[in-house]
Amino acid sequence: VTSSFTDLYVQVQQFYAGQVQHLDAMRADEFAATFTKDAVFDHSPGNPPFEGREAIADEMRSYQQKRYAENPAQRRHWFHMLRVLPQDDGSIVSEYYAMLLMTKPGEPLAGPAMSYAVRDVLVFEAGELLTRERRVVPDAAR
Amino acid sequence: VTSSFTDLYVQVQQFYAGQVQHLDAMRADEFAATFTKDAVFDHSPGNPPFEGREAIADEMRSYQQKRYAENPAQRRHWFHMLRVLPQDDGSIVSEYYAMLLMTKPGEPLAGPAMSYAVRDVLVFEAGELLTRERRVVPDAAR
Amino acid sequence: VTSSFTDLYVQVQQFYAGQVQHLDAMRADEFAATFTKDAVFDHSPGNPPFEGREAIADEMRSYQQKRYAENPAQRRHWFHMLRVLPQDDGSIVSEYYAMLLMTKPGEPLAGPAMSYAVRDVLVFEAGELLTRERRVVPDAAR
């Protein structure tokens, strides 16, 4: 393990922490800005993936409206058990588990979690880490 | 990302791992000792924060007595999605999600979790990382 | 904190991420290969521990058959709140919390989690990190 792998691993952790803050605060544009302009986001197996920042932000907004306008909740995405796999082309494959905790207004507890496995491709653009590809497989869809 | 940011990020992870061991084992004094002498601990919005190690330890003991003497459980605090933000004055802002799992005696499962967002200010004192400020917002209080 | 502690901490995180992928995909031999040949695996207090890779793989297969053949689920093990404690003899004590999320076929949510505290002894063999000892205490058994 070289120190640059260590730096990268920590950078990926810090990157995801910022990304989920945007996601859970429903800041669609800021969330989309953590993806590359041509990013592919596949969060629903069997449906076509979303491509590009605008599509990702639009999808996030419409998903929120459908699911959370009438049934609001504070969502918290946890990404963990992170495997960072640097590739020869400079991109980084990142595999992890995701869990979604939701606390509904007036309820003291987050309901049972939703569980996912995720595979990202990350890239550096102008020194900044961005998600170029995301494939989310809900455990409920297995 | 400099290697010193990487060192700091990992140090904060290791620090929290030790801090929650004290918390979950209900070692009030050891837990309080992970805070600065003048620390401010605000874990209940709408109520005044606790100030100083003694107040933190006392609060922890009384909270335990109220909540867990008649209704015991093995608590496990998980802190994650950590964003470490070094400040110009040498302090470190740390933002993260927290989850509390509780396993009651005789029950096989941890009930649904409680979910929180936390913002700490950490400082080094004599080379040791300590919490100077903690603001906990339960998702149930939003 | 020297940079080598930082490297080690991250290496342990990456190691566990790979180990749980084998565990949750029920690859018994690959999982067992993340332990030393003479490893001791104690995951059930009151019962004798399993010793060696073959016993670990066999135990994993029989556990799966007993518990999951008739009651299948996608399991996800999360290891977190990691404390890495290098020892004088070159081994590494690693303490952490574990959580098991299970999603049953056809159900959208992972049920309430199971919660554990774990203490491992890790060693390097030919540059590779391996688990030499694992003691798992389920919170439900306290």
Q: Judge whether B113 is closer than 8 Å to chain A, CB to CB.
A: yes
Q: Alpha-carbon distance B17 to A116, whole Å?
A: 25
Its ipTM equals 0.94
Please give the average per-residue pLDDT across C35-49, as a whole number.
Answer: 92
Token couple for A117: 């496995």
More reliable by pLDDT, A2 or B32: B32
pLDDT digits (tens, 9 = 90+) for B57-106: 999 899 888 877 777 899 999 999 999 999 999 999 999 999 999 999 88
pLDDT-derived band at A71 (thresholds 50, 70, 90) equals confident
Q: Which of the 8 DSSP states describes residue A49?
A: P
- Closest Cα in chain B, distance from residue A101 (Å): 7
Beta bridge partners of A116: A98, A138
DSSP A15-81: HHHHHHHHHHTT-HHHHHTTEEEEEEEE-STTSPPEESHHHHHHHHHHHHHHHHSSS--EEEEEEEE
Task: Check residue A3 and give its pLDDT.
Answer: 60
- Please answer whether residues B140 and B131 qualify as being in contact, where contact means their C-beta atoms are separated by less than 8 angstroms: no
Q: Judge whether B86 is closer than 8 Å to chain A, CB to CB.
A: no
- Please answer whether residues B115 and B138 qualify as being in contact, where contact means their C-beta atoms are separated by less than 8 angstroms: yes
- Please answer whether residues A92 and A12 qualify as being in contact, where contact means their C-beta atoms are separated by less than 8 angstroms: yes
Q: Alpha-carbon distance C21 to C29, whole Å?
A: 12
Task: Check residue A1 and give its pLDDT.
Answer: 42
Q: Which of the 8 DSSP states describes residue B6?
A: H
| Biggest alpha carbon–alpha carbon distance for chain C | 50
Residues of chain A contacting B140 with CB distance shorter than 8 Å: 103, 106-109
Per-residue pLDDT at B1 exceeds 50: no
Residues of chain C contacting B11 with CB distance shorter than 8 Å: 1, 6
- Of C124, B112, C60, give the one whose Cα is nearest residue A104: B112
- Closest Cα in chain A, distance from residue B88 (Å): 19
Q: Alpha-carbon distance A40 to B54, whole Å?
A: 52
Q: Judge whether A87 is closer than 8 Å to chain B, CB to CB.
A: no
Task: Check residue C1 and give its pLDDT.
Answer: 42
User: Which of B3, B83, B115 lies closest to A101 in CB terms?
Assistant: B115
Per-residue pLDDT at B19 exceeds 60: yes
User: Which of A18, A106, A111 lies closest to B83 in CB terms?
Assistant: A18
% helix / strand / coil in chain C, to the nearest 5? 30, 40, 25
Q: Alpha-carbon distance A18 to C53, whole Å?
A: 40
pLDDT digits (tens, 9 = 90+) for A5-41: 999 999 999 999 999 999 999 999 999 999 999 999 9
pLDDT digits (tens, 9 = 90+) for C63-109: 888 877 777 899 999 999 999 999 999 999 999 999 999 999 888 89
pLDDT digits (tens, 9 = 90+) for B103-125: 998 898 998 899 999 999 999 99
Per-residue pLDDT at A112 exceeds 90: no
Task: Check residue C3 and give its pLDDT.
Answer: 60
Q: Judge whether C3 is closer than 8 Å to chain A, CB to CB.
A: yes
- Of A128, B99, A2, A130, give the one whose Cα is nearest residue C99: B99
Q: Judge whether C141 is closer than 8 Å to chain A, CB to CB.
A: no
- Closest Cα in chain A, distance from residue B133 (Å): 20
Task: Check residue C128 and give its pLDDT.
Answer: 95
End-to-end alpha carbon distance in chain C: 34
Task: Check residue C66 and give its pLDDT.
Answer: 83
- Of B38, B34, B124, B33, give the one whose Cα is nearest residue B79: B34
- Interfacial B residues in 9-28 facing A (CB < 8 Å): 9-10
Please give the average per-residue pLDDT across C26-38, as a whole number.
Answer: 97
Token couple for B94: 């740390």
Task: Check residue A68 and give its pLDDT.
Answer: 76
Task: Check residue A30 and give its pLDDT.
Answer: 98
Nearest CA in chain A to C4: A3
**What percentage of chain A exceeds 70 in pLDDT?**
98
Q: Alpha-carbon distance A22 to A15, whole Å?
A: 11
Q: Which of the 8 DSSP states describes residue C110?
A: B
Helices and strands (DSSP H and E) totals, chain C? 3, 6
Count, residues in chain A: 142
**Total Cβ atoms within 10 A of residue C132:** 18
Residues of chain C contacting B16 with CB distance shorter than 8 Å: 81
Residues of chain C contacting B107 with CB distance shorter than 8 Å: 140
Interface contact B78-C96, CB threshold 8 A: no
Nearest CA in chain B to C82: B17
**Total Cβ atoms within 10 A of residue B62:** 11
**What percentage of chain C exceeds 90 in pLDDT?**
79
- Closest Cα in chain A, distance from residue B33 (Å): 27
pTM: 0.95
- Please answer whether residues B25 and C97 qualify as being in contact, where contact means their C-beta atoms are separated by less than 8 angstroms: no
pLDDT digits (tens, 9 = 90+) for A45-67: 888 999 999 999 999 899 888 87
Interface contact B99-A101, CB threshold 8 A: yes
Task: Check residue A53 and give its pLDDT.
Answer: 97
Helices and strands (DSSP H and E) totals, chain B? 3, 6
Task: Classify A37 as helix, strand or coil.
Answer: strand
Residues of chain C contacting B113 with CB distance shorter than 8 Å: 113
Task: Classify B115 as helix, strand or coil.
Answer: strand
Beta strands B50-51 and B92-103, pairing class: unpaired
Angle of the A3-24 helix axis to the B3-24 helix axis, nearest 10: 60
Question: Over chain C, what is the mean pLDDT?
Answer: 93
- Please answer whether residues A103 and B113 qualify as being in contact, where contact means their C-beta atoms are separated by less than 8 angstroms: no
Choosing among B81, B104, B109, B136, which should be mutated to test the A contact, i.e. which has the most A CBs within 10 A? B81
Q: Where are the beta strands (DSSP E) in A19-90?
A: 35-42, 50-51, 74-86
Q: Alpha-carbon distance A60 to A46, whole Å?
A: 18
Helices and strands (DSSP H and E) totals, chain A? 3, 6
Residues of chain C contacting A117 with CB distance shorter than 8 Å: 76
User: Which of A10, A82, A142 lies closest to C74 in CB terms?
Assistant: A142
Q: Alpha-carbon distance B19 to B130, whole Å?
A: 10
